[in-house]
Structure 1
Amino acid sequence: MTKLMSLENLCVSYGQVQALHDVTLDLNEGEIVTVIGPNGAGKTTLLCAAMGLLPSKGSLAIAGENIARPSVEAMVARGVALVPERRELFGEMSVEDNLLLGGFYRWRKGQRDQKARMEEVFEIFPRMRERRTQMSSTLSGGERQMLAIGRALMARPRLLMLDEPSLGLAPLIVREVLKVVSSLRTHGISVLLVEQNARAALQVADRAYVLEMGAVALTGAAEDLLHDRRIIDTYLGIGAQPAQAAPAVA
């Protein structure tokens, strides 16, 4: 498989506090890779550093090309898009206008395919077609998340990085959103998924990294980690196993 993203010995500090310690991570084309871990583990910091939003030490490569000084513009130019945890939508703009902004980089490069891209987004998220003239501030939480992902897709990314897409959403909507995330591979898009909802993330991912206190504590196939006793005890809870297999409680 072709390696799409490679991070090696990534370190990030906030002043005197080191938030990431020599994190090494890779993602192949066509893969969904998830990063799970508790609050404060450094998951969001990892994505922000990979996107060039935070200064970092270490090496970062996209499709074999080393990016000496990661920046948002450099990453976007190489087909990387980030959907932040807060979604960062323009509330007083319509769904359609928010989507058009997502395609601005391509428009600036002379690629006038925004209408075609929007139709592709509407195919993925039919509800956005129904809401196209609606102000984004009036959308439900699930619809705002769909719009945030759709806006990122307008840039036609090779790699989509998602920060906590399930945050604040009802379980039914979480399943709907992650089902779409899983389907993005059919559109030629690889995904780096940061999630606190470990069970949901492991069910859609191919591989996973467990981040604890800014360092990679465990990595492996998502299916294996979904049944790993350490992950079950720490992140999934006793309910992840059949009742007869649950450990006795003292």
Structure 2
Amino acid sequence: MTNTVVSPVLEVGDLHVAYGKVEALHGVSLAVGGGQIVTVIGPNGAGKSTMLNAIAGVMPNNGSMRGTLRLLGQDTADVAIETRVARGMCLVPEKRELFASMTVEDNLLLGSYRRYQAGERAYADQMAVVYDLFPRLQQRRKQQAGSLSGGERQMLALGRALMAKPQLLMLDEPSLGLAPLIAKEIFHIIVGLRQTGVAILLVEQNARAALQVADYAYVLETGDIALQGPAAELANNPKVIDTYLGLAKKSH
């Protein structure tokens, strides 16, 4: 079974990534369509973050990567990270990487810098959209980013990414380090983003939450896609339940 989408925003084919002589990804293939949430779950060390970094162009391609990567039908495997961003790709990394001494509003404006550079006059209009999604950020727009709570920092990282009006939003462990109620709020926001038409590739350690919000899911184990299918089906798959949902199920 494959994730067949009519007009895929992202297509990854037979992606191999190596660190020296050690191969971290062994031919990963996946697709994400517009308005679709696709999640990749798996244990620590499976290669999930490596996969996102390779797609985003964060990793230097010195012969350690091979495979095909298409964004909106364009070959993107060998273009610079700046070009990938300009084409509509945006990664929200696990560490969020905010500018702590800058205000919330200035962090958001930085997210639209590429649009400003490209001469878009309406680049700041997206601020109103972000504030609608994250009213708390509007309340704290003059505060330094470093003074925010963990949940607010994650909201700011998401909001900054959305300022670029991405076609593809890649999220690396958005619930990491957050209290359960705050994580639930973040996932609720992610579901809401689907309605904007943005394609979302979600890497998440909390398999239960990820499968609840996603349309389609891949299970990555030691660099290989072990399972894939509609998220609702994988949530009922005995292997997935035993390996990834068993402990959570017993705790409720």
What's the TM-score bracket when you normalise by the shorter of the two chains?
A: over 0.9
**Match of 1:222?**
231
Q: TM-score, normalised by structure 2?
A: 0.93
Tell me, yes or no, if structure 1 residue 83 matches structure 2 residue 88: no
RMSD: 1.4
The equivalent position to 2:24 in structure 1, one of 3, 19, 26, is 19
Answer yes or no: is the 8 Å Cα contact 1:163–1:194 preserved in 2. yes
> Which stretches in structure 1 are left out of the alignment for 5+ residues?
244-250
Q: Matched residues in 2 for 1:67 and 1:239: separation?
A: 38
Q: Which residue of 2 aligns with 1:36?
A: 41
Matched, 1:73 2:82: yes
The Cα offsets for residues 64-112 of structure 1, whole Å up to 9 and x where unpaired, read as 2122404311211211111000000000000000000000000000012
Structure-2 residue corresponding to 1:159: 168
**Which of residues 161, 174, 194 in structure 1 aligns to 2:183?**
174
SS of alignment partner, residue 12 of structure 2? strand
CA gap 1:164/1:238 in 2 versus in 1, 3 angstroms:
closer
The aligned amino acid for 2:213 is V
Listed as ranges, the gaps of 5+ residues in structure 2 are 1-5
CA contact (8 A) 2:35 2:196 kept: no
Could you tell me how far 1:205 is from its partner in structure 2? Answer: 0.2
Task: Letter of the 1:89 partner, please give it.
Answer: L
Give the number of aligned pairs. Answer: 243
Contact conserved, 1:207 with 1:222, CA < 8 A, in 2? yes
Structure 1 runs of 4+ aligned residues shifted over 4 Å read none
SS at match of 2:44: coil
1:137-177 CA-to-partner distances (Å, cap 9, x unmatched) read 00000000000000000000011000000000011011100
**What corresponds to 1:4 in structure 2?**
9
* Residue 112 (structure 1) aligned with residue 117 (structure 2): no
Supply the distance in 1 between the matched residues of 2:138 and 2:57 (Cα, whole angstroms).
32
